[in-house]
Structure 1
Amino acid sequence: MEGEGSFEQFSPEVRIKDPRNSEAASLLPPIKLFHGTSDYSIPSDASINLVEALKGVGAEAEVILYEGKSHTDLFLQDPLRGGKDDLFDHVVSVIHAGDEEALAKDASAPPRKRLVPEILLRLARHISPF
């Protein structure tokens, strides 16, 4: 994002704390952030701090942390791995909240099929710049 010099311009945390934007918080829908604790490109503290800033101006916000997950584990390696996918399950539970029939179908869905051999996923995690 053009380096540290433009942090003030692009940082959502800084922008939400700006008094000129204080009325915008009431217009925001509930916000959920999903973040891996082993993300080296954007530390999970960034999501924690953003949620605290949002709450500080009256927005409804929550951060869900995934222990040991990297920047790409959640949306790339885990879905390709198949089986249980925590991020997918969290997102679907938000979408289907209050719909008991949909939640029951989700709970009884078969495991997801593996799409890539594990060795390739481990290699991808080690060579990914994120």
Structure 2
Amino acid sequence: MSISQRYNLFKLVDYFHSRGLYRSVFLSIMEGEKSLERFSPEVVVQNPNIRNAVSLLPPIILFHGTADYSIPSDASTSFTETLQRVGVKAESILFEGKTHTDLFLQDPMRGGRDEMFEDLVGIIHAGDADAIAKDAVAPPRRRLVPEFMLQLARRVSPF
């Protein structure tokens, strides 16, 4: 499982540049353009020299918010399609209107119902009737932070 990642840095260089992480700075951080291949899982899994290793990958689920402005959600859908093309069981789950940090920071702090948490628990407990029954009667998670603070964090977050 993965949440909102950069799976193909070649596709993100221009996007980052348009957001202020200029191409020259980004490539300097990444040790040059040649290193992008090594740090791009979407590129790595297509390498014919590792086809046998790729076939051993477990099922993969990618989670991404559609309002993520750090890493566009199409990064997950593209990687999912690539994984499927090379024979890996993969799916992407998109959360409408969620940003990069909503999924793993703001939403869990809200308490109550959390769509991604419920999806994760459903995947983990799939086929386990006892666990599913316990999940159904579990008390709601408690709020950890007042809503105004979560809204403020969402507005000031660079992600």
Q: TM-score range by the shorter chain?
A: over 0.9
Deviations 1:28-74 (A, max 9, x none): 11111111011111111111011111101100001000000000000
Distance 1:108 1:3, change over 3 A: farther
**TM-score, normalised relative to structure 2:** 0.78
Deviations 1:102-129 (A, max 9, x none): 0111111111111100000000011111
Aligned residue among 119, 142, 151 for 1:90: 119
DSSP-derived class of the 2:98 partner: coil
CA RMSD of aligned residues (A): 1.3
Quick one: distance in 1 between partners of 2:72 and 2:122? 25
Quick one: distance in 1 between partners of 2:146 and 2:93? 28
Any residues of structure 2 matched to 1:39-50 within 5 Å, and which? 39-50=68-79
Quick one: distance in 1 between partners of 2:152 and 2:144? 15
Any residues of structure 2 matched to 1:71-90 within 5 Å, and which? 71-90=100-119
* Counterpart check, 1:121 vs 2:155: no
Any residues of structure 2 matched to 1:29-68 within 5 Å, and which? 29-68=58-97
Residue ranges of structure 1 left out of the alignment (5+ in a row): none
Q: CA deviation at 1:4?
A: 7.2
Quick one: distance in 1 between partners of 2:47 and 2:95? 30
Equivalence for 2:30:
2
Percent identity between the aligned chains? 62
Quick one: distance in 1 between partners of 2:81 and 2:52? 17
Quick one: distance in 2 between partners of 1:3 and 1:103? 47
Distance 1:33 1:4, change over 3 A: farther
DSSP-derived class of the 1:113 partner: coil
Distance 1:22 1:49, change over 3 A: same
Equivalence for 2:25:
none
Quick one: distance in 2 between partners of 1:39 and 1:7? 22
What count of residue pairs does the alignment treat as equivalent? 130
Q: CA deviation at 1:7?
A: 2.2
